[in-house]
């Protein structure tokens, strides 16, 4: 993965019209392999912004 690489794509309009929340959940299963795992909480992110800062 590289910074800014999309993790998922979906049609927000269709999701909203179906009555679902458009929140995307990201799970890091190997967080123990990194010295820093800092999610950007409570922020409305735009395309290209970092959702999680991860450092080895």
What are the CA-CA distances from residue 46 to residues 10, 21, 30, 50 (Å)? 14, 17, 25, 9
Evaluate whether residue 44 is within a structural domain. yes
Residue 17 lies in a domain: yes
Does 39 reside within a domain? yes
pTM: 0.51
Count up the domains in the chain and report the number. 1
Q: Is residue 2 part of a domain?
A: no
Q: Per-residue confidence of the chain (56 residues) as pLDDT tens digits?
A: 676 777 778 888 999 999 998 887 888 888 889 999 998 888 888 877 888 888 88
**6 lies in some domain:** no
Residue 5 lies in a domain: no
The domain in which residue 25 lies consists of 12-55
44 phi and psi angles, rounded to 5 deg: -90, 100
């Amino acid at each position: 993965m590289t910074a800014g690489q999309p993790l998922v794509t979906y049609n927000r309009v269709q999701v909203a019209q179906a009555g679902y929340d458009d929140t995307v959940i990201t799970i890091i299963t190997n967080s123990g392999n990194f010295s820093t795992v800092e999610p950007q909480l409570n922020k409305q992110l735009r395309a290209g912004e970092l959702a999680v800062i991860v450092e080895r």
